[in-house]
Amino acid sequence: MVSLTFYGGVDEIGGNKVLLEDDDARVFLDFGQSFTMGCDFFMGWLSPRASNGLGDYFEFGLLPKLKGLYAEEQLQFTNVPYVKPRFDAVFLSHPHFDHVSHIQFLDPEIPVYLGEGTKLFLEAMEKTSSFCNYKEHRYRTFRTGDRINVGNIVVEPVHVDHSIPAAYSFLIHTSEGTVVYTGDLRAHGPRKDMTEEFKDKACESEPVAMICEGTRMIEVERRKNYSEQQVKTLSDKVVSSTDKIVFVTRYSRDMDRFRSIYNVAKNNDRKIVVSPKTAHLLGRLVEDKRLDLPDPLKDKNILVYYKRKRSGDFEEKDYYVWERDFMEKMVTHEFVHKNQGKLVMDLNFYQFAELIDIKPMQGSHFIHSMSEPYSEEDIEDEVMHNWLNHFKIQFHQLHASGHLNRDQLIDLTNHIQPKKIFPIHTENQQLFKKNCKGIQTIESGKEYIL
């Protein structure tokens, strides 16, 4: 008997936690944190206390009380007794927060399977973010083409195109047939061929079920979405038509976007200025040759921006040990100010105070290469525009989504033709029902037998 239980990603975008059971094999597909988790009870600095382990999460039902899943230390202050692991493995589809973050609570004895690139991302994040600690695990890395046996099931990872490298879908071969888990995916990025490959493989497996993401299963798209190639072309237009500095803000781990902006800068004889954090991430990702990313230490087109810290004199001791690796590539606000027309600079919202020191010329440019705000009352968006207006910087919205749109999702389900479809990672299960055959809508914590 094969069953599926959804502990996250139900009626919301992200937070996937799917339990698949087949006889004595029990595996989780992703173990992420919801973007809105606990927002009825926690906000800003009022957050679950790490010192109380899972106690604060169980209080509000934010994580399922399953025996044999969590680490002993996490259960210390709860009424759930610790028992040896009753789960065989957790498979991570890709390194985004909403798919991996809650592995920090898992029993370290439970193996965590993940792509080799995903492991590099997790390590880089732990090193450079004080709030990131995934804890110890028995990590096992995989690549496309591997077949992983867990009890009587076989899990086959298949790479897909998404807004972060090392993204996979899974074909899970069970006693009742193949279950497809899409993970998150798109078909308009530079590696759309990988998504095509996945579609064909999934179709050939004649699946009994598909757990399908539906981020963009929406009636009307209000936000403008380009393909990655269009983002590159339009960014090039901005950069090539000005002699002033161009700032870019993007998702820090979207390496397709980094590559696009890097190439735009290079094609326009400009250097790209990145943060030490991005330099560190690049330094780790060059270990994976297939990602084909530039080495921040060797590549002459990359400069690393150091903010003034502590002494204010850019001394080595002012910076974290991991930040010091790139000091030979250091540029400061003075350099950026003097060389504005020769640079494209990564600048995220939380670094905007640097503009005070950089003193950009009037009429400089800012490319917002991220999603548009969800609501018109987005405070961060308002503050961002206040800053841009203050410095008389021109705003450009250029972004490519990490997800299939509605028509592509319908096309995906028509192509693969699974007997049943479980919509996950979506706020619109009903629209799936309207548009696709074999939809089984899901409720949190309910078991579905295949």
Point out which residues bind Zn ion (CB under 5 A). 14, 98, 184
Which residue, 14 or 95, is less far from Zn ion as judged by CB? Answer: 14
Which residue, 14 or 48, is less far from Zn ion as judged by CB? Answer: 14
Which residue, 184 or 323, is less far from Zn ion as judged by CB? Answer: 184
- Rounded to whole angstroms, how far apart are CA atoms 194 and 300? 31
- Give me the least distance between CB of 213 and Zn ion, in Å please: 7
Determine contact, residues 32/15, Cβ cutoff 8 Å.
Answer: yes
Which residue, 184 or 354, is less far from Zn ion as judged by CB? Answer: 184
Which residue, 37 or 303, is less far from Zn ion as judged by CB? Answer: 37
- Give me the least distance between CB of 145 and Zn ion, in Å please: 24
- Give me the least distance between CB of 34 and Zn ion, in Å please: 10
DSSP 43: B
- CB atoms < 10 A from the CB of 232, how many? 22
- Give me the least distance between CB of 217 and Zn ion, in Å please: 14
**DSSP-assigned states of every residue in 195-222:** HHHHHHHHHHT--SEEEEE-TB--SS--
Determine contact, residues 31/90, Cβ cutoff 8 Å.
Answer: yes
- CB atoms < 10 A from the CB of 37, how many? 22
Query: What is the distance in angstroms between the CA of the first residue and the CA of the last residue of the chain?
Result: 7
- Give me the least distance between CB of 158 and Zn ion, in Å please: 17
Cα distances (angstroms) measured from residue 380 to each of 348, 386, 389, 431: 12, 10, 14, 30
- Give me the least distance between CB of 168 and Zn ion, in Å please: 13
Which residue, 32 or 38, is less far from Zn ion as judged by CB? Answer: 32
- Give me the least distance between CB of 89 and Zn ion, in Å please: 20
Q: CB-based contacts of 223: which residues, under 8 Å, 6+ apart?
A: 371, 372
- Rounded to whole angstroms, how far apart are CA atoms 13 and 5? 17
Which residue, 161 or 184, is less far from Zn ion as judged by CB? Answer: 184
Q: Enter the tokens of residue 317.
A: 């001791």
